[in-house]
Structure 1
Amino acid sequence: MKLHTTMPLKNEEQIMAILKKIVTESYEEIKDEEVLLCIECCDVDLEIATSNDFEFEEAIKENFELDQFGDIIDIENYRRLMYELDAVFIELHKTSGFFDVFLEGEYEVNGELRESESDIIAPKGKFYAPFEDALK
C-alpha cells in the first residue's frame, strides 16, 4: 500500500512502516479478547494511537518547518496530513489480515436480523457478525 497524501513526504516508507507496526502491536494487545472496534466511533484512531509515540512524531516533523521550540509551524497542513494518515491507518487495519471487517449493514444473529450502523473490526475469528453476542 502506498501513501497518497496531498503533500509529498520525505520519509513515506518510514511513516508507513511505523503505521504497520502500530497496527500489528494493536492486534497483539487484543488478539485474545472478544472486542469489537467501531471505525466511526474513533475506536481506531491514529491520533490516539500515536499520542505518545516519539518515533512517529519525529517522522512527521521531518516533513515540516519547525519553530525554535521544535514545533510544526504549518498547523493547517499538519492537520490535513494527519487526517489523510488516519484514513490510511484505518485501511491498514482492514487489510492487515489480523481483523475481521464487518461493514455497515444487516446481519443474522441467533436467527434474528439485525442492523449495524457502523463499520466494525474485531480480532480475526472471534465473531461472525458485529454484535457482542455473535461469538463464534
Structure 2
Amino acid sequence: MFQTKIKLNNTGKIDAILKEIVLKTHEEALEEKLLLCMECGDVDFYITYSNNEELQDAINENFEIDECGEIMKIDEHQELMDDLFDYFLIIHKESELFDYFPAGPYALGGEIRESDTDMLAPKGLYSAPFEDALKEW
C-alpha cells in the first residue's frame, strides 16, 4: 500500500487500480517482448493517469471540486500525484512480474555495454536491458 500524508477515502481502490494497470502492462510487454524504460514514458504515472478515466475518478473523488470543475486544494492533489508517481515505479519493480535492470554496465556477447536508464522486462525474457538480449525460448 502506498504512503501519503494526504487523507484519502479510497486508498484500497486506488491501489487496486494501479496494480491492475501494472498487470496489464506486464501482459502487453510479455506479448510484445518489450523492454520498458523507467525514466521514459513507458512507466510514467502521469501518462497513465491522463489516459485512465477510472484512475482519475478514483483520485479526484478525494478532493473538493469548485463550480468550474477544478480541484480546490491543488497543492494537496499535486502532493498525492507525486507520491503516486513514486509508488507506481515501486510496484512495477516489486511486483515480481518484471526483471529490473538498473542503469549501468552489462556484459553481453563478450562485450561490456552501458545502459543509460533503468529498465524493466517481463521476468525471464531478457538477460540484459538491450533489445538483442532477448533470451531464446
Same fold (TM over 0.5): yes
Pairwise CA distance, 1:71: 2.6
Q: Which residue in the other structure is 2:30 paired with?
A: 31
State how 1:83-102 maps to structure 2 within 5 Å.
83-102=82-101
- CA RMSD, Structure 1 to Structure 2 (Å): 1.4
Q: Which residue in the other structure is 1:15 paired with?
A: 14
What amino acid does structure 2 have at the position aligned with 1:55? Answer: E
Q: Which residue in the other structure is 2:79 paired with?
A: 80
Pairwise CA distance, 1:34: 2.4
What amino acid does structure 2 have at the position aligned with 1:18? Answer: I
More helix by share: 2
Pairwise CA distance, 1:92: 0.8
* Distance of 2:70 and 2:57 partners within structure 1: 10
* Distance of 1:107 and 1:9 partners within structure 2: 42
1:127 aligns with 2:133: no
* Distance of 1:90 and 1:71 partners within structure 2: 27
**DSSP-derived class of the 1:133 partner:** helix
CA deviation string 1:86-133 (max 9, x = no partner): 111111111112111101222101000112121100122221001111
CA deviation string 1:15-63 (max 9, x = no partner): 1001001111111222122221111123201121122322211111121
- 73-82 or 84-93, which moves further after superposition? 73-82
**Aligned residue pair count:** 135
* Distance of 2:61 and 2:33 partners within structure 1: 38
Q: Which runs of 5+ in 2 are unaligned?
A: none
TM-score under structure 1 length normalisation: 0.90
State how 1:105-116 maps to structure 2 within 5 Å.
105-116=104-115
TM-score under structure 2 length normalisation: 0.90
**DSSP-derived class of the 2:71 partner:** coil
* Distance of 2:49 and 2:6 partners within structure 1: 20
Q: Which residue in the other structure is 1:117 paired with?
A: 116
* Distance of 2:47 and 2:71 partners within structure 1: 19
1:67 aligns with 2:66: yes
